[in-house]
C-alpha cells in the first residue's frame, strides 16, 4: 500500500489517499495500489492543458450566428480570456531533468490537432515554452493530427538541435499521417521547408503495451489501448501516477490492469448527460473512476453541451461532494502541478 506520508502527486486536487478509503458499497471493482517511489526519484513536473474541447471546439460559429444567439456556453466562450473556450484536446507534459534542476524542463506534446497553432500562440509564451522535445499521438482523427504542419516552426526556427523532432504513434495513425502529410514522411515530396520529424512506431504487435521513453529518457510512457467506437481503437497513455485517455468509448480489462494505481485521471467526457457511441460522457467517466479509484479526475473533450466553465464545475462539486475523489472540467491553459517519478 502507498505510504501514508507520500506527497500528493497533483497538488490542488484530490482529498485523502484512496488506498485508505472504503470502496463504494456494492461496487464490483478492484482497487490496485502502487507503492510510491522514493522521493529522490520524483521530479518537478506539470501538465499544461493546451485544449479541453472536442473536434469542432467551443464556441460553435453556428451558435454565435444564430438569430438571436441562445447558447449560453458559446456566448460565454466568445468573451475574452474565457475559461469556456475549448480548443481540441491536447496536453503538454513538462518534466525537469533528474539530477539537473538548472536545465530547462523537457516538453512533451500529446496530440497536435486543428487548433494547435492557436493554442501554442496563446499558452506557450505565457508559460515560457519555446522548445518541444517529443510529440505523442493518440489516434489519427483531425482534432489530434491536423496541426502537425505547424511543428515546422519548432524544428526549423527554435531549436539548436539539428536532430529531427521524435513523433511517437501507432500504425493506423502513421498510415493516416502519410496520407495527409506525405511531404513530412518522404521529404523528396516537399516543395519547401517542412517539419523535420522522425516517426517512431509504438503499441504494435506483441509490444502492444510496451513502455517507451521520450525526451532522452526523461519521461517513460505506457500505451493504453482503448476503444473509440465499435470499429476503431485509440491510445491513451500512462506516465507515473497519471493516466491520460482523451478519446474513448470503452476500456478493455487488460488496459484497466495497466491503469492500476492511477492518482490523476484525465479522461474524455463529451457531454454532461446521455451517451455517445464513440466517446465517454460524464456517467461513463464516473464508472471508470469507480473502477480505478484515482484521487482526482479531470474531464476533457467537452462540447458546448457542458455549461460555461464555472457553472459546470459548480455542478460537479455539488454532485460529487460525498466522494473521496474530485471531478472537475478542465479549461484551456490550466496548469496541474505533479511529481511524476523517474523510472
Three-class SS of the chain:
CCCCCCCCCECCCCCCCHHHCCCCCCCCCCCCCCCCCCHHHECCEEEEEEECECCCCECCHHHHCCCCCCCHHHHHHCCCCCCCCECECEEEEEECECCECCCCCEEEEECCCCCHHHHHHHHCCCCCCCCCCEEECCCCCHHHHCCHHHHHHHHHHHCCCCCCEEEEECHHHHHHHHHHCHHHHCHHHCCCCCCCEEEEECCCHHHCCCCEEECCCCEEEEEEEEECCCCCEEEEEEECCEEEECCCCECCHHHHHHCCCCCEEEEECCCCCCCCCCCCCHHHHHHHHHHHCCCEEEEECECCCCCCHHHHHHHHHHHCCCCCCEEEECCCCCEEEECCECC
Instruction: Please tell me the distance from the alpha carbon of residue 122 to that of residue 272, in angstroms, as a whole number.
Output: 27
Instruction: Please tell me the distance from the alpha carbon of residue 67 to that of residue 219, in angstroms, as a whole number.
Output: 49
Residues in the chain with pLDDT < 50? 1-41, 343
pTM for the predicted model, two decimal places = 0.87
Instruction: Please tell me the distance from the alpha carbon of residue 322 to that of residue 320, in angstroms, as a whole number.
Output: 5
What is the topology classification, in CATH, of domain 43-203+214-338?
Metallo-beta-lactamase; Chain A (3.60.15)
Instruction: Please tell me the distance from the alpha carbon of residue 329 to that of residue 340, in angstroms, as a whole number.
Output: 22
Q: What is the per-residue pLDDT across 3-24, written as a single tens digit (0 to 9) for each?
A: 333 344 444 433 323 222 222 2
Q: What is the per-residue pLDDT across 276-317, written as a single tens digit (0 to 9) for each?
A: 999 999 999 999 999 999 999 999 999 999 999 999 999 999
* Domain boundaries along the sequence of the chain: 43-203+214-338
Contact 223, 203 (CB under 8 A): yes
Contact 200, 168 (CB under 8 A): yes
pLDDT for residue 159:
67
Task: Please give the angle made by the CA atoms of 125, 265 and 316, to the nearest 5 degrees.
Answer: 90
User: Half-sphere exposure of residue 111, counting CA atoms within 13 Å on the CB side?
Assistant: 33
At 28, list the grid cell.
464490483
pLDDT for residue 144:
98
Q: Rounded to a whole number, what is the distance in angstroms from the first to the last CA of the chain?
A: 19
User: Half-sphere exposure of residue 237, counting CA atoms within 13 Å on the CB side?
Assistant: 26
When computed from its CA atoms, the radius of gyration of the chain, rounded to whole angstroms, is: 20
Contact 186, 197 (CB under 8 A): no
Contact 195, 167 (CB under 8 A): no
At 161, list the grid cell.
538541435
Return the closest-CA partner of residue 247 out of 279, 205, 206, 201.
Answer: 279
Measure the CA dihedral 158/47/301/36, to 10°.
140
Residue 151 CB partners (closer than 8 Å, separation 6+): 112, 132, 135, 165, 195, 197
Amino acid at each position: 500500500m502507498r505510504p501514508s506520508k507520500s506527497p500528493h502527486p497533483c497538488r490542488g486536487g484530490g482529498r485523502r489517499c484512496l488506498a485508505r478509503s472504503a470502496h463504494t458499497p456494492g461496487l464490483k471493482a478492484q482497487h490496485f495500489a502502487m507503492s510510491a517511489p522514493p522521493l529522490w526519484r520524483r521530479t518537478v513536473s506539470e501538465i499544461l492543458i493546451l485544449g479541453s474541447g472536442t473536434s469542432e471546439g467551443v464556441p460553435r460559429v453556428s451558435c454565435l450566428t444564430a438569430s438571436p444567439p441562445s447558447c449560453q456556453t458559446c456566448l460565454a466562450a466568445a468573451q475574452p480570456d474565457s475559461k469556456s473556450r475549448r480548443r481540441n484536446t491536447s496536453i503538454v507534459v513538462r518534466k525537469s531533468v533528474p539530477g539537473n534542476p538548472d536545465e530547462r524542463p523537457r516538453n512533451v506534446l500529446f496530440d497536435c490537432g486543428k487548433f494547435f497553432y492557436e493554442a501554442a500562440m496563446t499558452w506557450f509564451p505565457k508559460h515560457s515554452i519555446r522548445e518541444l522535445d517529443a510529440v505523442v499521438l493518440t489516434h489519427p482523427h483531425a482534432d489530434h493530427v491536423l496541426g502537425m504542419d505547424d511543428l515546422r516552426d519548432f524544428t526549423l526556427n527554435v531549436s539548436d538541435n539539428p536532430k529531427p523532432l521524435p513523433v511517437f504513434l501507432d500504425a493506423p495513425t502513421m498510415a493516416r499521417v502519410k496520407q495527409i502529410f506525405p511531404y513530412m514522411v518522404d521529404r523528396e515530396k516537399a516543395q519547401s521547408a517542412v517539419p523535420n520529424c522522425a516517426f517512431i512506431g509504438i503499441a504494435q504487435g506483441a509490444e502492444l503495451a510496451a513502455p517507451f521513453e521520450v525526451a532522452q529518457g526523461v519521461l517513460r510512457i505506457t500505451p493504453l489501448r482503448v476503444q473509440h467506437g465499435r470499429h476503431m481503437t485509440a491510445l491513451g497513455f500512462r506516465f507515473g501516477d497519471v493516466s491520460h485517455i482523451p478519446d474513448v468509448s470503452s476500456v478493455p480489462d487488460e488496459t484497466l490492469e495497466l491503469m492500476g494505481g492511477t492518482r490523476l485521471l484525465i479522461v474524455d467526457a463529451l457531454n454532461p448527460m446521455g451517451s455517445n457511441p464513440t466517446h465517454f460522457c460524464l456517467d461513463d467517466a464516473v464508472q471508470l473512476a469507480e473502477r480505478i479509484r484515482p484521487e482526482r479526475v479531470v474531464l476533457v473533450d467537452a462540447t458546448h453541451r457542458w455549461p460555461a466553465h464555472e457553472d459546470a464545475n459548480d455542478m460537479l462539486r455539488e454532485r460529487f461532494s460525498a466522494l473521496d475523489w474530485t471531478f472537475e472540467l478542465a479549461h484551456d491553459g490550466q496548469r496541474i502541478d505533479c511529481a511524476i517519478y523517474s523510472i
